[in-house]
């Protein structure tokens, strides 16, 4: 019987363990085309019905790890198609997956304002602002609508102005501001 040095035997025993411990390479293929079409449709750069199909396709991929952003985009598309309940569900789903997604709070708030659910909308606006959402002009606009509905015209005016300060070509806020007339009051002694 031939004897092997202890070091060689130890190396041979450790070899299968080292091979098993090697990191596994996993290839993940995303349907980038569907993700892009979904996003383009949400941003008004593609057909929204085709965009909705693309969102559904992208979300059907179990390996997709951008689900919150896709749900947000699909929510935008659903609302544009008039499917408010589906849009609300998608916005809430996006927030459930990523509660740091400020744009989802602001988008949900806009839909809640449209549904006249002002208390819920105000909470979402505040959360979206706290998270520094990229669509802050929309947050200020929606808060102005709530303020105006509650009779606080001065606060509404300030928030419409802030929306325009953030995005100077934001038509909804410009349209609302055109309704206001500033009146200077004289100081009374």
Residues of the chain with pLDDT under 50: 1-21, 27-28
Domains and CATH numbers, the chain: 31-98 (1.25.40), 118-180 (no CATH)
pLDDT score recorded for residue 32: 65
Residues in the chain, total: 189
pLDDT score recorded for residue 24: 60
pLDDT score recorded for residue 74: 97
pLDDT score recorded for residue 163: 97
Q: What is the pLDDT of residues 5-28, one digit of tens each?
A: 444 434 434 444 444 445 565 544
pLDDT score recorded for residue 63: 87
Q: What is the pLDDT of residues 42-70, one digit of tens each?
A: 999 999 999 999 999 999 998 888 999 99
CA distance 38 to 57: 9
What residues contact 172, with CB distance under 8 A and at least 6 apart? 141, 163
What per-residue string of b and e applies to 81-114 under the rule 16 or more CB within 10 Å gives b?
eebeebbbebbebbbebeeebbbbbbbbbbbbbe
Query: Which residue in the block uniquely carries the two structure tokens 């790890």?
Result: 65
pLDDT score recorded for residue 4: 45
What per-residue string of b and e applies to 151-171 under the rule 16 or more CB within 10 Å gives b?
eeeeebbebbbbbbebbeebe
């Amino acid at each position: 019987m031939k004897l092997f040095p202890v070091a060689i035997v130890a190396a041979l025993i450790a070899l299968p363990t080292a091979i098993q411990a090697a990191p596994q390479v996993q290839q993940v293929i995303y349907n980038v085309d569907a993700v892009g079409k979904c996003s383009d449709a949400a941003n008004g750069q593609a057909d929204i019905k085709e965009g909705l199909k693309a969102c559904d396709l992208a979300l059907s991929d179990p390996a997709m790890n951008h689900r919150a952003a896709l749900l947000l985009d699909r929510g935008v598309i659903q609302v544009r198609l008039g499917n408010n309940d589906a849009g609300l569900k998608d916005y809430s789903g996006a927030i459930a997956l990523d509660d740091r997604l400020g744009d989802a709070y602001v988008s949900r708030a806009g839909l809640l304002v449209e549904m006249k659910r002002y208390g819920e909308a105000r909470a979402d606006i505040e959360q979206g602002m706290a998270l520094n959402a990229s669509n802050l002009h929309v947050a200020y606009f929606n808060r102005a609508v709530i303020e105006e509905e509650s009779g606080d015209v001065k606060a509404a005016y300030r928030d419409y102005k802030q929306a325009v300060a953030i995005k100077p070509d934001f038509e909804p806020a410009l349209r609302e501001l055109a309704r206001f007339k500033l009146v200077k009051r004289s100081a009374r002694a």
